[in-house]
Amino acid sequence: METYYKPEDLRKFEEIGKEAPDLAKKFFEYYNAVFAEGALTEREKALIALAVAHAVQCPYCIDAFTQACLEKGSNLAEMTEAIHVVTAIRGGASLVHGVQMRNVAQKLSM
Amino acid sequence: MNPERALQEIGVAEMPLETFSQTLFRHGLRLEREKTTTLQVNVGNLCNQSCRHCHLNAGPDRREIMNSETVDGVISYAARNGFQAIDITGGAPELNPNLEKLIEGLSSCAPRILVRSNLTALTENKRENLIRLLQAYQVVVIASFPSFDEHQADAQRGPGTFRTSLATLKKLNSLGYGVEESGLELHLVCNPTGAFLPSSQALIEKRFREVLLKRWGIVFNRLFSFANMPLGRFRQWLLQSGNLESYLQRLGSSFNPCAVEGLMCRTLVSVSWDGYLYDCDFNLARDLPMGGRRIHVSEMEGPPAPGSPIAVADHCYTCTAGGGFT
């Protein structure tokens, strides 16, 4: 079935550099530097990336970072908790705007 | 989307996987034997577990085990050659009734004897005599321990194996195994619990050391992380789960030319349960005999000649993926 998202397209990611190679080179160098071991471990960074992938709902990122998390030694329980963290923030971000709603409603109401 | 992966795959992932020989040729590499320092002895396919990643299809129904006559042949071969290490594997070596005879016979043939254990066969049926023998000869125990997550470990090795493994590790620790300066070495082997590559060995060893000590008070000497070999039961699972093609591509795209120099097949000779010689245990599983013909251990005077070619096939990509397989 035709679909906009094709798993094999992930492997074509580098083709994005064909039109703007200097920018792509800078981006990929930055990207790889970000995910290298630093104050956070590679495993921790992969868990953050997996959670954010769900928040931005990127199927390529979910595919790649699920594999990356497993390869860096995380288990399904840890990966699921990471997704709950981002879900809580995302839900909380909606809910906290309820304060704005209440402010407006109070201003308009008698 | 991980550009590191994407960049690794440039020019490789979108073409059919070339043969391992072609890849070696493209990198100007040759895979030949060097001086053989390790004798690996596979004492049979009988095992009390049926692990889903097993490259040999080992299990409780397998009947191929090394008999007493072949054990004699192996001891005689080891005595004729100065191996630095002898690595006993299976199946579950503990289930071979000739194991104690083999260890006793080999003990004077090499300074270092290693036994691979799945950690459940070692303590079932009260194998106290065997454990005492391992201690007495300071046999190194190489134990399978894929994950400290019970669900992941049992999914790979069978229900209940995780808890039994923990109990065995604690028992081995109580006997001095894995304890610093005891002279009794306990190493862990960690295979991924699915169709993905292992973590960096140094990182995973650090994490396992912290978690095993904190949660269960367990210590060990070293941890080795190995990729799963797409052979036997693991290959069947890859095929059934629709992961075979992507896994093979992943192994191929992770080819590390620097890993070729340190491959274990350069310095190891593997003897099958029926006494035939292979360049490694994986070629044994694929029935790719050393030198292209079946040679029995009783026919072999010395170690394989340095410079002789090593039989290769596409499963060899497993040993050259990332950091390599030692």
> What band does B9 get if pLDDT is binned at 50, 70 and 90?
very low
| A-contacting residues in B 136-165 (Cβ below 8 Å) | 147, 149, 151-152
Contacting residues for B4 by C-beta, under 8 A, at least 6 apart: A31, A32, A35
Contacting residues for B318 by C-beta, under 8 A, at least 6 apart: B227, B228, B229, B230, B251, B282, B325
- Predicted confidence at residue B13, as pLDDT, reads 40
Cα B325 from Cα B304, distance rounded (Å): 21
Cα B204 from Cα B210, distance rounded (Å): 10
- Predicted confidence at residue A2, as pLDDT, reads 82
CA distance A28 to chain B (A): 6
* A40 inside 8 A of chain B by CB: no
- Structural tokens at position B251: 């192994």
Cα B25 from Cα A19, distance rounded (Å): 34
- Structural tokens at position B80: 């004729």
> What band does A1 get if pLDDT is binned at 50, 70 and 90?
confident
Per-residue b or e along B75-103, where b marks 16 or more CB atoms closer than 10 Å to that residue's CB: bebbeebebebbbbbbbbbbbbebbbebb
Please tell me whether residue B115 adopts helix, strand or coil conformation. strand
- Predicted confidence at residue B197, as pLDDT, reads 94
HSE-CB of B36 using CA atoms within 13 angstroms: 29
Q: Has residue B257 got a pLDDT over 70?
A: yes
Please tell me whether residue B291 adopts helix, strand or coil conformation. helix
Helix (H) or strand (E) holding B142: strand B140-144
Please write down the HEC assignment for all residues of B148-173.
CCHHHHHHHHCCCHHHHHHHHHHHHH
Q: Has residue B7 got a pLDDT over 70?
A: no
* Helix then strand then coil, % of chain A, to nearest 5: 80, 0, 20
Q: Do A31 and B203 touch (CB under 8 A)?
A: no
- Predicted confidence at residue B325, as pLDDT, reads 53
Q: Has residue B281 got a pLDDT over 60?
A: yes
Question: Amino acid identity, residue B181?
Answer: E
- Supply the ipTM of this predicted assembly: 0.70
| A60, closest residue in chain B (CA to CA) | B1
Q: Has residue B4 got a pLDDT over 80?
A: no
Q: Are the C-beta atoms of B208 and B214 separated by less than 8 Å?
A: no
- Predicted confidence at residue B6, as pLDDT, reads 41
How confident is the prediction for chain A on average, in pLDDT?
Answer: 93
- Triad B209, B211, B215: Cα angle to 5°: 125
Which residue, B194, B191, B141, B149, is CA-closest to B169? B141
> What band does B324 get if pLDDT is binned at 50, 70 and 90?
low
* A44 inside 8 A of chain B by CB: no
Compute the average pLDDT of residues A67-74.
93
CA distance A86 to chain B (A): 18
Read off the pLDDT of residues A71-94 as tens digits, 9 standing for 90 and up.
999 999 999 999 999 999 999 999
- Structural tokens at position B218: 């367990």
Q: Has residue A55 got a pLDDT over 70?
A: yes
Read off the pLDDT of residues B125-140 as tens digits, 9 standing for 90 and up.
778 999 999 999 999 9
- Structural tokens at position B168: 């065995």
Distance of CA B135 to the CA centre of its chain: 22
With contacts defined as CB-CB under 8 Å, which chain A residues touch B207? 43, 73
- How many Cβ atoms sit within 10 Å of the Cβ of residue B244? 17
* B6 inside 8 A of chain A by CB: yes
DSSP bridge partners of B59? B46
Cα B75 from Cα B105, distance rounded (Å): 6
Q: Do B147 and A42 touch (CB under 8 A)?
A: no
Read off the pLDDT of residues B176-194 as tens digits, 9 standing for 90 and up.
999 999 999 999 999 999 9
Q: Do A77 and B13 touch (CB under 8 A)?
A: no
Kind of pairing between the strands at B222-225 and B38-42: unpaired
Compute the average pLDDT of residues B62-66.
96
* B15 inside 8 A of chain A by CB: no
How confident is the prediction for chain B on average, in pLDDT?
Answer: 92
* A46 inside 8 A of chain B by CB: no
- Predicted confidence at residue B16, as pLDDT, reads 52
Least confident of A80-84, A103-107, B230-234: A103-107
Helix (H) or strand (E) holding B223: strand B222-225
- How many Cβ atoms sit within 10 Å of the Cβ of residue B159? 9
Cα B187 from Cα B171, distance rounded (Å): 14
Contacting residues for B244 by C-beta, under 8 A, at least 6 apart: B230, B235, B238
> What band does A12 get if pLDDT is binned at 50, 70 and 90?
confident
With contacts defined as CB-CB under 8 Å, which chain A residues touch B321? none
Compute the average pLDDT of residues B235-263.
94
Cα B118 from Cα B102, distance rounded (Å): 19
Q: What is the DSSP letter of B121?
A: T
DSSP bridge partners of B85? B38, B112
- ω before B105 within 30° of 0 (cis)? no
To probe the interface with B, which of A31, A42, A67 has the most B CB atoms within 10 Å?
A67
